[in-house]
């Protein structure tokens, strides 16, 4: 699609109109968008069509419709961060990501839904309609990039950028049966993770195929010169890797979660089966596949402290805390009550966990885990009143996500099987620092072995 746009075989006005029509027809049942900027998108597409640049001079995302996650400010467009406390905020300046996507030629169709300030792994608030799984609209789409994932799964966008601070790309991607890539800390110039608390939050792509995710990852990596002296090693282009046969790689398999010390983690049989099937697929492609022994310790207390501290930094006064979700207010108040010593101890523990995890995974090219522990959760399943129970529910749903952020490692989720209802079931592949190429190669082989997926009912 992007090549056809740049070569002039596809008109950005026609493509923009196509996706806007789909949003108008379908999104009322999905809730992927919280703001659709149809007039601005049509005007933007028309300007691109009339700009007279040659195909060779057109940037990587020229004419491609995208959405801005509602944590990314765009000048003149309501940016609510999923929160009633920001319901009237209209920024005068765009965030760096929105401006860079414009420079790369993208066409923003509006704002995709996110939970309040991106704090939870599901996209439901009391402020906006829930974002639903296009495969089963009785269930939520996961979060925090739930709107972006649901939009891609329902065919409302071709691809979408998201952000991932504890699973926020991979959780919704696995929930709605698409591909989600969380890059290594330091790979992306915008949303590198290096400048976030504990290095957790990074920018990455969501797409229906591995090749499309690789394409958008490459484009995101080239949006700006890298602003840090440190960048992820081996930052090669990923799209050629997705299109070529993979060399023989070593894959370790584990269903261990570092949360199991403190939470009761029950792995759904369908999730376990997906791991077994994926391991068999990779072994059949002549990769070395073996069980991985891994016994992480002391993770839960460290992550809970860091997550609360990250919420403490939200610009919310005491009166505004009466407007936000109970889980948000709880995290903010708990975070602001932390001592500096406790936070510094947690950051030191996170650094030690990173070193130990990288060492434990160093003898393999990738680690295969479940993507989620449970099937997609019904809308309203997460407790809206008891914040501590809510947090535990999120861990029980997605216990394989946040530790990858703490370790700064890349990870990709890809659907490999389907359950008895036809819903895709995904696995996660975790790589070495800067090892996205191995993940993309393996995920592309899983995708090929699986075969094409049908469209979801909400398509």
Catalytic residues: 69, 144, 168
Q: Annotate 373-426 with DSSP letters as a single string.
A: SSPPPBTT-S-SS-HHHHHHHHHHH-TTSHHHHHHT--EEEEEEEE-TTS-EEE
How far apart, in whole angstroms, are the C-alpha atoms of residue 111 and residue 127?
15
How far apart, in whole angstroms, are the C-alpha atoms of residue 420 and residue 442?
25
Radius of gyration of the chain measured on its C-alpha atoms: 21
DSSP class of residue 260? Answer: G
How far apart, in whole angstroms, are the C-alpha atoms of residue 356 and residue 74?
40
CA contacts within 13 A on the Cβ side of 94: 15
How far apart, in whole angstroms, are the C-alpha atoms of residue 363 and residue 4?
41
Minimal CA–CA distance to 370: which of 336, 414, 433?
A: 414
Minimal CA–CA distance to 131: which of 168, 176, 99, 94?
A: 176
Minimal CA–CA distance to 362: which of 278, 256, 250, 444?
A: 250
How far apart, in whole angstroms, are the C-alpha atoms of residue 261 and residue 327?
23
Minimal CA–CA distance to 199: which of 228, 219, 221, 156?
A: 228
Distance from CA of residue 228 to its chain's centroid?
A: 23
How far apart, in whole angstroms, are the C-alpha atoms of residue 201 and residue 40?
29
Q: Annotate 134-157 with DSSP letters as a single string.
A: TTEEEEE--SSSHHHHHHHHTTS-
DSSP class of residue 11? Answer: -
Residue labelled with tokens 């066409």? 107
């Amino acid at each position: 699609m992007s090549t056809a746009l740049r070569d002039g075989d596809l008109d950005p006005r026609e493509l923009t109109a196509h996706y806007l029509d789909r949003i108008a027809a379908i999104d009322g049942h999905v809730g992927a968008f919280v703001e659709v900027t149809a007039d601005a998108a049509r005007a933007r597409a028309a300007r691109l069509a009339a700009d007279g640049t040659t195909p060779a001079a057109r940037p990587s995302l020229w004419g491609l419709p995208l959405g801005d996650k509602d944590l990314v400010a765009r000048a003149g467009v309501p940016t609510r961060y999923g929160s009633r406390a920001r319901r009237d905020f209209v920024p005068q300046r765009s965030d760096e990501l929105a401006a860079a996507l414009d420079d790369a030629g993208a066409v923003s169709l509006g704002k995709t839904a996110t939970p309040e300030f991106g704090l939870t792994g599901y996209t439901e608030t009391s402020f906006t309609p829930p974002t639903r799984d296009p495969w089963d609209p009785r269930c939520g789409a996961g979060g925090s990039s739930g709107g972006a994932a649901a939009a891609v799964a329902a065919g409302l966008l071709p691809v979408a950028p998201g952000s991932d601070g504890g699973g926020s790309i991979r959780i919704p991607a696995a929930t709605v049966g698409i591909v989600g890539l969380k890059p290594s800390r330091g790979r992306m110039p915008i949303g590198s993770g290096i400048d976030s608390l504990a290095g957790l939050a990074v920018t990455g792509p969501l797409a229906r195929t591995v090749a499309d995710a690789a394409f958008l990852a490459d484009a995101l990596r080239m949006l700006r010169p890298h602003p840090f002296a440190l960048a992820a090693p081996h930052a090669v282009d990923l799209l050629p890797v997705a299109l070529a046969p993979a060399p023989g790689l070593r894959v370790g398999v584990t269903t261990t979660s570092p949360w199991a010390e403190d939470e009761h983690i029950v792995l759904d049989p369908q999730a376990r089966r997906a791991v077994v099937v994926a391991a068999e697929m990779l072994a059949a492609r002549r990769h070395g596949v073996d069980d991985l022994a891994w016994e992480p310790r002391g993770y839960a207390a460290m992550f809970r402290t860091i997550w609360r501290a990250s919420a403490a930094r939200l610009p919310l006064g005491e009166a505004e805390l009466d407007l936000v979700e109970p889980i948000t207010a709880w995290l903010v108040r708990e975070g602001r009550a932390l001592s500096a010593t406790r936070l510094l101890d947690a950051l030191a523990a996170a650094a030690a966990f990173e070193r130990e995890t990288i060492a434990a995974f160093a003898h393999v090219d990738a680690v295969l885990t479940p993507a989620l522990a449970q099937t997609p959760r019904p809308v309203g399943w997460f407790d809206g009143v008891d914040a501590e129970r809510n947090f535990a529910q999120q861990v029980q749903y997605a216990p394989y996500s946040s530790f990858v952020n703490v370790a700064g490692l890349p990870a990709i989720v890809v659907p490999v099987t389907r359950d008895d209802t036809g819903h895709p079931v995904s696995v996660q592949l975790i790589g070495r620092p800067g090892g996205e190429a191995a993940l993309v190669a393996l995920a592309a082989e899983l995708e090929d072995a699986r075969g094409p997926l049908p469209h979801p009912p909400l398509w």
